[in-house]
Amino acid sequence: MPLLATPLLLCLHLLAAALWVGGMATFHFAVRPAAVDTLEPPQRLRMLCGALGRFFRWVTAAIVLLLATGFAMVQLAGGMGAVRWHVHAMLGIGVAMMVIFAAIRQRHHPQMAEKVTAGDWKAAAAALNRIRQLVFINLWLGVAVFAVAVVGRAA
């Protein structure tokens, strides 16, 4: 492989991670609070359900890119036995994040969408609250991955 392969893979990997983690931070700290401040529950829940659906498509693409670039870089480095502890830690935390995301995308978001369509605002809000809690956990796991990456490369 050309010498530029690893920096290009790393750049794509970091961009995908930034999209996922940055998107969660934006939703958690800016979009949802602004929606709560400005929209009534029916409009707020419809808007957030639609926005989350769009965001989740991007996250799915980011996860595919993270796995592809991550495993490609590991392969170029000589395999999992050849990489340092921080790569193993990032993979472990990343897999935990993917499991949480799968639960959100496959269970909680469809429940929310179903309740929004039915006009059951209380149940839709409860589903959104579960999503919010899981996103908050994933956000901090994502921050931990960035910290592990920086500390692991420096150590």
pLDDT band at 154; cut points 50, 70, 90:
confident
Residue 5: the pLDDT is 81
Q: Which residue has the tokens 């949480």?
A: 100
CA–CA distance, 30 with 75 (Å, rounded to integer): 38
pLDDT at 2 over 60: no
Residue type, 147: A
| Residue 52 and residue 91 in contact, taking contact as beta carbons nearer than 8 Å | no
Minimal CA–CA distance to 113: which of 86, 98, 131?
131
CB atoms within 10 A of CB 34: 11
CB count within 10 Å of CB 150 equals: 11
| Confidence band of 147 (pLDDT split at 50, 70, 90) | very high
Greatest Cα pair distance, the chain, in angstroms, is 56
Instruction: Quote the distance between the C-alpha of residue 68 and its chain's center.
Output: 16
Domain that holds residue 66: 5-154
pLDDT at 74: 96
Per-residue pLDDT of 4-56, as tens digits, reads 788 999 999 999 999 999 999 999 999 999 999 999 999 999 999 999 999 99
- The total domain count for the chain is 1
Q: Write out pLDDT tens, residues 78-129.
A: 999 999 999 999 999 999 999 999 999 999 999 999 999 999 999 999 999 9
Question: Is a pLDDT exceeding 90 seen at residue 149?
Answer: yes
Q: Which pLDDT value is given to residue 86?
A: 96
